[in-house]
Amino acid sequence: MGLGIALVAALRAKVPVTLVDTSQASLERGLKFADKLLAKDVSKQRLSQDDADAARQLLKPGTEMDAMSEVDMVIEAVPEIPELKCKIFSQLAQICPTHSILATNTSSISITRIAAATTTDPTDLSAPSRVISTHFMNPVPVQKGVEIISGLQTSSTTVATAIAFCKRMGKIPSQSSDSPGFLANRILMPYINEAIICLETGIGGKEDIDGIMKNGTNVPMGPLQLADFIGIDTCLAIMKVLYEETGDSKYRPAVLLRKMVDAGWLGKKSGKGFYDY
């Protein structure tokens, strides 16, 4: 998702983007994927070659967080691991300029908690006030939606700036309060989880479960196929956050969901999930 966000920022907002990953190999794979997406848009005449070249030139890769010492906005897109995100935001508060917006692409973790990690003094709001969530929908180059979630410390200026930039990227923002799962995953993940329970208990086969939702509610893909595209491990991580932070049994992850992750069947990215790829 980080690559998708970076590409749309360069292509639609036309701003220079510093793309940071700890792995040089991951960066190279990401940039090759960007080249592939741009070439596809050019071939379908959705984009001119000049515009594609201009966007590609705006993407500057790096493997060190110090590369973000002069940016106006950071959008973090690491996995849904609270400790990892808090560690990164603690570092960002030290590296980035004092005016930088510090945004996370988290889909379930408390923004208030992430913001608190930027300082050791709870009365000092200089960094926490600049923390916000810009939760983009996947795949980012295609989906228009983005959730804007404020933490307890987030300033109104940060909210307005984040919304304005997301609109500049061609996105349609929706605002949510800082509650486990926010809006999108609070609704979506229990739906996917229940579909998995229907499969594991034999109420229906995967094709029937996906088929009735596609053909009965006009969604583009069924819940099991969607889980494969999101990532089975990501679905499990989000369900765990919902369950742990609310204590509500309706958010308990399906047994089969845990088993899929244990087996390494993570969906499209691993070649096998509820379907084979």
The SS3 of residue 141 is: coil
Determine whether 99 is an active site residue: no
Note whether 84 and 78 are within 8 A (CB).
yes
247: which 2 tokens? 């204590």
Exactly one of 105, 147, 150, 176 is catalytic; which is it?
Answer: 147
Q: Chain-centre distance of CA 256, in angstroms? A: 24
Exactly one of 100, 129, 133, 135 is catalytic; which is it?
Answer: 135
What is the number of other CB atoms lying within 10 angstroms of the CB of residue 66? 10
Determine whether 135 is an active site residue: yes
Note whether 65 and 90 are within 8 A (CB).
no
Determine whether 185 is an active site residue: yes
User: Rounded to an integer, what distance in angstroms lies between the CA atom of residue 116 and that of residue 90?
Assistant: 9
Exactly one of 76, 80, 105, 107 is catalytic; which is it?
Answer: 107
143: which 2 tokens? 């989906």
Catalytic positions, please?
A: 107, 135, 147, 185
